């Protein structure tokens, strides 16, 4: 199965998500802060209006409610509190008894907006003869000192033009805005700094896990080692547990397959020795030989395939290739086939010895069956990747039948036992290590088999599936 596109980095996704949230929530947050500042500024100016109303009431009570009074003392208190735009008006029994200088000069009376006693000044916006105004009103029954009866109801009204009110609110908002920036800006900077530190810590932890996985994949360790944050450590512990169980299962399976192969070989040998002579016996002997060959091949595959329980170190390649050559020359010493090895003496690569022996052994065995007199083995390491080639001077395989030669159980001829799966074994071994096996025409005239194995750290994740 071809690997899909790599997912985006977790750190980059978190950073992108944070930027999107900041872009979306930033204006909303600022709008909320503006709303709060607007309400706070309006409440501050309204509080001043109420305070002005209390000043007017105190001035009226101190001068004597119910008696004719000059307005100048109250105007002077009003001017001391606000300015000439701050108007006031006092009604008793629904009729105005005192008004501010601006109302008197303009001959204006502002209609009351409350018609029942209130516990505090009620603030509202209203249209008046002087234009839109912000008003604060309160109706109360007064009990002057030494008075035989209450006076009232007394209606107190104070106000300022709406434009002046809005200017005052704007001034408050600007002051609050500066104070908010002094508080929010450092807080936001600290938040960004904390988030950046968290992202860097997360990235560092993930990189630490990645380095540990690289060491495991390259064969330096047999498990994912290191100490990580609790969330990552739980995952690493589970991965290590899975690796341990997989290694134990693989070792047990190898033992079982080897035991089965050993147990089957004995009765097959007895059967072969007991076969009668003649044409019928020869046909049966060929089938028994084929069964024995298949058992040996599958046992070899079980021993070769799968990750070792111990990490693979750097393997010197020349001794392995020389051993393969010597083994075939000894096994087929009666066959006049010359096997040459072209490999530097100091060439090394990180791969399990048994996997390399199985791969090269199967390629040489396949070449030996068809070679006329020469087999050439070569090995090189380029760019960190291993390349092993086996060439022969036999008939080769037609181009249209080469894919068939790499499929399990496909026989391209009726040759000796076990034929048809040797190349498939090598193809599976190559895929196990993230590599490939390709077949082509050899310069010697026969088959050119090229095994390519990438460096351990550059190997893609194998899906573990065998070829059908």
Q: Which stretch of 19-23, 170-174, 315-319, 335-339 has the lowest confidence by average pLDDT?
A: 19-23
- The Cα 222–Cα 236 span in angstroms is 13
Give me the helices (H) in 147-227, please. Answer: 162-217
Q: What is the pLDDT of residues 336-347, one digit of tens each?
A: 789 999 999 999
Q: What is the pLDDT of residues 131-143, one digit of tens each?
A: 999 999 999 988 7
- Calculate the alpha carbon distances from 68 to 60, 64, 92 in Å: 10, 8, 12
Model pTM score: 0.49
Residue position matching structure tokens 């010895």: 353
3 state DSSP class of 130: coil
Q: Which stretch of 45-54, 157-166, 295-304 has the lowest confidence by average pLDDT?
A: 295-304
What is the rounded average pLDDT of the residues 273-279?
Answer: 73
Q: What is the pLDDT of residues 227-248, one digit of tens each?
A: 888 878 888 888 888 888 887 8
What is the rounded average pLDDT of the residues 16-42?
Answer: 83
Question: β-strand 151-161 against 122-128: which pairing, if any?
Answer: unpaired
**pLDDT of 75 above 70:** no
Report residue 207 as tokens.
């990189």
In the chain, the N- to C-terminal Cα span, in Å, equals 13
Higher pLDDT, 282 or 81: 282
The mean predicted confidence, pLDDT, of the chain is 80
**In contact, 242 and 330? CB cutoff 8 Å:** no
Q: What is the pLDDT of residues 345-378, one digit of tens each?
A: 999 998 888 888 889 998 998 898 889 899 999 9
Report residue 178 as tokens.
């500066």
Q: What does DSSP assign to residue 84?
A: T
Report residue 444 as tokens.
């010697």
Report residue 413 as tokens.
């001829």
Tell me, letter by letter, the H, E, C secondary structure of 195-213. HHHHHHHHHHHHHHHHHHH
Q: What is the pLDDT of residues 389-443, one digit of tens each?
A: 999 999 988 888 888 888 765 554 444 333 445 788 888 888 888 899 999 999 9
Position 74 scores a pLDDT of: 58
Residue 264 sits at φ, ψ, to 5 deg, of -80, -30
- The Cα 295–Cα 260 span in angstroms is 9
Burial of 226 (0-12, 13-18, 19+ CB in 10 A): middle
Q: What does DSSP assign to residue 145?
A: T
CA angle 222-224-230, nearest 5°? 155
| Dihedral sign from CA coordinates of 162, 167, 168, 173 | positive
Report residue 389 as tokens.
């080639």
- Cβ–Cβ contacts within 10 Å for residue 180, how many? 16
- Using left for φ > 0, alpha for ψ between -120 and 50, and beta otherwise, residue 293 falls in alpha
Instruction: Report residue 457 CA to chain centroid gap.
Output: 22
Question: β-strand 338-342 against 374-382: which pairing, if any?
Answer: parallel
- Using left for φ > 0, alpha for ψ between -120 and 50, and beta otherwise, residue 32 falls in alpha
Query: Which of 136, 192, 172, 144 lies closest to 40, judged by CA?
Result: 172
Position 416 scores a pLDDT of: 39
């Amino acid at each position: 199965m071809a690997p899909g596109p790599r997912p985006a980095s977790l750190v980059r996704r978190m950073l992108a998500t944070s930027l999107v949230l900041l872009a979306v929530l930033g204006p909303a947050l600022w709008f909320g802060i503006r709303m709060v500042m607007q309400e706070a500024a309006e409440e501050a100016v309204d509080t001043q209006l109420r305070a002005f109303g209390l000043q007017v009431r105190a001035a009226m009570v101190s001068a004597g409610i119910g008696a004719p009074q000059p307005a100048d003392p109250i105007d002077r208190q009003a001017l001391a509190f606000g300015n000439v735009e701050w108007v006031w008006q006092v009604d008793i029994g629904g009729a105005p008894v005192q008004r501010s200088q601006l109302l008197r000069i303009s001959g204006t009376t502002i209609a009351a907006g409350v018609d029942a006693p209130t516990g505090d000044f009620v603030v509202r916006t209203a249209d008046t003869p002087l234009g839109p105004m912000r008003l604060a009103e309160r109706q109360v029954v007064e009990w002057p000192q030494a008075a035989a009866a209450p006076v009232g109801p007394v209606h107190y009204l104070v106000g300022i033009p709406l434009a002046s009110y809005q200017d005052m609110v704007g001034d408050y908002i600007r002051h609050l805005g500066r104070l908010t920036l002094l508080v929010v800006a450092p807080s936001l900077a600290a938040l960004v700094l904390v988030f950046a530190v968290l992202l860097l810590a997360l990235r560092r932890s993930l990189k630490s896990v990645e380095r540990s996985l690289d060491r495991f994949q390259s064969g330096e360790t047999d498990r994912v080692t290191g100490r990580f944050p609790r969330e990552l450590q739980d995952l690493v512990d589970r991965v290590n547990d899975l690796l341990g169980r997989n290694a134990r299962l693989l070792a047990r399976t190898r033992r079982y397959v080897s035991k089965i192969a050993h147990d089957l070989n004995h009765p097959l040998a007895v059967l072969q020795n007991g076969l009668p002579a003649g044409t019928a016996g020869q046909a049966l002997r060929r089938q028994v030989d084929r069964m024995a060959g298949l058992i040996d091949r599958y046992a070899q595959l079980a021993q070769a395939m799968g990750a070792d329980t111990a990490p693979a170190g750097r393997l010197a390649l020349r001794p392995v290739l020389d051993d393969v050559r010597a083994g075939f020359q000894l096994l087929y010493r009666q066959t006049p086939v010359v096997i040459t090895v072209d490999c530097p003496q100091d060439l090394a690569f990180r791969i399990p010895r048994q996997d390399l022996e199985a791969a090269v052994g199967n390629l040489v065995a396949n070449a030996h069956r068809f070679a006329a007199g020469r087999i050439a083995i070569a090995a090189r390491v380029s760019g960190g990747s291993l390349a092993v080639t086996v060439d022969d001077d036999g008939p080769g395989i037609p181009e249209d039948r080469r894919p068939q030669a790499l499929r399990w159980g496909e026989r391209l001829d009726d040759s000796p036992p076990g034929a048809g799966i040797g190349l498939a074994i090598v193809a599976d071994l190559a895929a196990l290590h993230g590599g490939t096996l390709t077949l082509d025409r050899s310069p010697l005239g026969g088959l050119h088999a090229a095994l390519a194995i990438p460096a351990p750290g550059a190997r893609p994740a194998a899906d573990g599936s065998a070829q059908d």
